[in-house]
Structure 1
Amino acid sequence: MSRLNSRPARLSRIASSLLLTLGGLLTLSACSEGSGEANDSAQQTPPTMEVVAAISQPVAAWHTYTTRLESPQRVQLRPRVSGEVEEVLFTEGSQVSAGTPLVRLDQRPFKAEVERLEADVARFKAELANARSESGRAASLVKRNLISREEADSRSTNATGLNAQLKGAIAQLERARLNLDYATIRAPIDGRLSNARITRGNTVQAGESVLTTLVETRQLDAYIDISELTWNKDFAHVTAEDHLPVELQLAGQEDFPFHGELDFIDNSVDIDTGTLRIGTTFNADDPALRPGAFARLRIASPEIRDAVLIPERAIGTDLDRQFVLVVDENDTLAYRGISTGPRFGPLRAVTDGLAAGDRVLAAGPAKAGPGMPISPKLVDIKDGGALKSLAARVSRLQGEQAARQLNQDNDQKAATLAEADRQAAGGRS
């Protein structure tokens, strides 16, 4: 009887378990469907991304090259006479003026030679005076037949020989005085000295021993070799008289703080390299400018033109082509191939493929792709002052071009007036 009573109880527990399991499955299914709907909803919300509008700005193309600064004058100081160093008079690394005494040799041998030759000159002068007196008397005596013609000629020849000896002694004396002066080695130019290569007591040889090096530092030259193709494309009609602006940057500097002008264009193209050497001179007022310093030099193209600018980081590379992701009217990213020009700080000029006002993905294609819908957030171009600097450079270029044009116009007017005056003067005559 107990078995019959327990069977319905077990069936009841099994049924309850089945109902609980079925309910759990239904609950899980409902949760899964709810989660999928939430994910679908999230995927349908476009991500917010920063975009920038391409801008148009007047620019001048700058061509950048590497170079080293050179001193226009560099002298290896060598003695012009041999002797023993008596005193080193300069401070290493100091700035000196032309004519400043730098090294003094032992002057005693040179003074002795001067004194010896001074005595020779005095002796020859006395002997010559006596010989001329004898020659004069002989000329008077020969007229009265008191001495022979041969004797008179001999006295005249003796005076002539003594005169030649006197001239030779005077020349030797001048040379000895020069050697005495050369015993004090002086700075031949204004400039800055290197370290001393000799010390007191050393013997130096004329024209051989290097005492120190002296370089001019008031001005420094910088030369670059520009390709014939680039020159013909951007500078074909430029002459040194145009004084194109040139800017210089030293190693470790971010800007180009030193300004100069193009003042040298070589007279021919190097047939081996296909390059043309050009150069500029910088005033070396800043002590950072030193001969031999590595520098980057950039020269401005004379033509100023409008350019479309975007951040460099917005540009992607697809094999051998550059592109950007533009935002279309539906706020969807689209692939756009572009051609680029020179770089201006963090900005890059786009020569083809973009127009001013086109919206471009600011961060580039690293985290997005074509066809992706976004919620665009328009931001200003983060140029780090590049646009302001660029505008200032263009303004400076325009001002310099206007000044050069004004000078040329004034010169032309002056030449025309001078020619008119000349013709008027010719007509009156």
Structure 2
Amino acid sequence: MARKLTSVLFGISALVLAGCNSGEPGTQPPPPPAVEVAQVSSGATTLWRSFTGRVAAPETVELRPRVSGYINKVSFAEGALVKQGDVLFTIDPRPYQASERAALADLARARSDLSFSEKQSGRARQLLDSKAISREEYDRRIAARDSARATLSAAEAALENAQLNLQYTDVKAPISGRVSRALVTRGNLANADNTLLTTLVSVDPMYVYFESDEQTFANGRTLLNKGKKPAVRIGLAGEQGYPHSGEVDFIDNRLNSHTGTIQFRAVVKNDDGIFKPGQFARVEMPIEEVAHAVLINSKAVLTDQDRRYVYIVNDSNLTERRPVVAGPRQGELVVIRSGLKPGEKIVVNGLQKIYFPGMPVIPEMVAMQKQIKTTHAAGQ
């Protein structure tokens, strides 16, 4: 038993001596960690804000026939581009051709009646002067002439109407654009002003509608009023960034009291047909101009509950925790409203190596990001 106790005490003593020897001179502490730092700078910047919008066609037509009849022919490929004036449907024209011939006959008869009445009224004037006919008979012939003139006008109108109805048997595209599928096919009856034949939408340019909250609109009102058509950038689902450019051509005249938003409309070219009505779109619009904006890499901003802060490196290469007030994001950068001054150095990479404020580090200078005068905002 005494031998076992002696062995345990000997082991404890060895451990204690080993711990004491670790603090001997010659044992070096680990060097400070290397971190990447960037210098804070400022400059004139236009802040942009992102919105979600919906693509819409400037012109949308529900194509319905103006005359009734059976469809003889469908003259378009479904989903194809058509030009204004192209014949899309043909209604059986034979009943309307017959109506035109009847109207032509009525017109010829009316002209003949008018010619006879004018001759009668002319002779009546001479006979009245020689007192060969009564005044009553003269008035009767003048009335017959005027009635024949009215009948001729009615016959001309009837012919014009018949010719219009005959023209309407060719259902033409009222606008240029992309046509949908044929909802009525050959052999089916189409009722005038009732049967929907197909739909047609214009394709170039396109509209993008989006809504801004009241505060953003108020902040950007001065900037928006500088030009009649502020520039915007637009991106679609599956696209990186905002590759399309457009311009705002309409701002609603009042805010929506239910949502607290105001509607904007942007016009964008659609030469390649990539925009389709009903698509969602991402829209960036300028909202503010800042003369001296401080922008830093967003990866440098840390969060402690609802407070944001960064680590700066002083002239002694010691870290300091600095609270900041962050504004909108600008791509990979973020606007700092307060807390930093140009020329200060902040840690942008290697933050996980900093365990406490005041920790020494080895700074390695890197570029914050290539600064440009106009940058993109992704929201507050």
Both structures adopt the same fold (TM-score exceeding 0.5): yes
Contact 1:260 1:282 in 2 (8 A): yes
Which residue number in structure 1 is paired with residue 327 of structure 2?
A: 341
Higher helix share: 1
| Residues 182-239 of structure 1: CA deviation (Å, up to 9, x unaligned) | 1111111121212222211111111122222211111112233323332332323643
Aligned length: 374
Alignment of 1:26-425 (within 5 A): 28-35=15-22, 41-42=28-29, 45-236=31-222, 238-239=224-225, 241-301=227-287, 303-363=289-349, 368-371=354-357, 373-381=359-367, 387=370, 390-391=372-373, 393=374
Query: Structure 1 CA distance, aligned partners of 2:71 and 2:360?
Result: 82
Contact 1:86 1:104 in 2 (8 A): yes
Query: Structure 1 CA distance, aligned partners of 2:61 and 2:221?
Result: 35
Query: Structure 2 CA distance, aligned partners of 1:224 and 1:360?
Result: 37
| Counterparts in 2 of 1:266 and 1:30: CA distance versus 1, 3 Å | same
Q: Secondary structure of the equivalent of 2:322?
A: strand
Q: Secondary structure of the equivalent of 2:247?
A: strand
Unaligned segments of structure 1, at least 5 residues:
1-13, 395-429
Report the alpha carbon displacement of residue 27 of structure 1 after superposing the two structures with TM.
5.0
Give the TM-score taking structure 2 as reference length: 0.87
Query: Structure 2 CA distance, aligned partners of 1:144 and 1:154?
Result: 17
Letter in 1 for 2:295: L
Letter in 1 for 2:236: L
| Residues 297-338 of structure 1: CA deviation (Å, up to 9, x unaligned) | 111136352322222122111222211122233333322111
Query: Structure 1 CA distance, aligned partners of 2:124 and 2:235?
Result: 84
Report the alpha carbon displacement of residue 60 of structure 1 after superposing the two structures with TM.
0.6
Query: Structure 2 CA distance, aligned partners of 1:18 and 1:246?
Result: 84
| Counterparts in 2 of 1:37 and 1:141: CA distance versus 1, 3 Å | farther
Contact 2:235 2:282 in 1 (8 A): yes
Aligned-pair identity (%): 34
Which entry has the higher C-alpha Rg, 1 or 2? Answer: 1
Q: Secondary structure of the equivalent of 2:335?
A: strand
Higher strand share: 2
Report the alpha carbon displacement of residue 89 of structure 1 after superposing the two structures with TM.
0.8
Query: Structure 2 CA distance, aligned partners of 1:132 and 1:86?
Result: 46
Query: Structure 2 CA distance, aligned partners of 1:105 and 1:161?
Result: 37
Give the TM-score taking structure 1 as reference length: 0.78
Contact 1:325 1:364 in 2 (8 A): no
Report the alpha carbon displacement of residue 295 of structure 1 after superposing the two structures with TM.
0.8
Letter in 2 for 1:100: D
Report the alpha carbon displacement of residue 30 of structure 1 after superposing the two structures with TM.
3.9
Query: Structure 1 CA distance, aligned partners of 2:272 and 2:366?
Result: 36
Report the alpha carbon displacement of residue 275 of structure 1 after superposing the two structures with TM.
3.5
Contact 2:46 2:290 in 1 (8 A): yes
Contact 1:311 1:381 in 2 (8 A): no
Report the alpha carbon displacement of residue 97 of structure 1 after superposing the two structures with TM.
1.8
Letter in 2 for 1:160: D
Contact 1:312 1:346 in 2 (8 A): yes
| Counterparts in 2 of 1:186 and 1:240: CA distance versus 1, 3 Å | farther
Letter in 2 for 1:294: F
Report the alpha carbon displacement of residue 105 of structure 1 after superposing the two structures with TM.
0.8
Which residue number in structure 2 is paired with residue 400 of structure 1?
A: none
Report the alpha carbon displacement of residue 111 of structure 1 after superposing the two structures with TM.
0.8
Contact 1:58 1:306 in 2 (8 A): yes
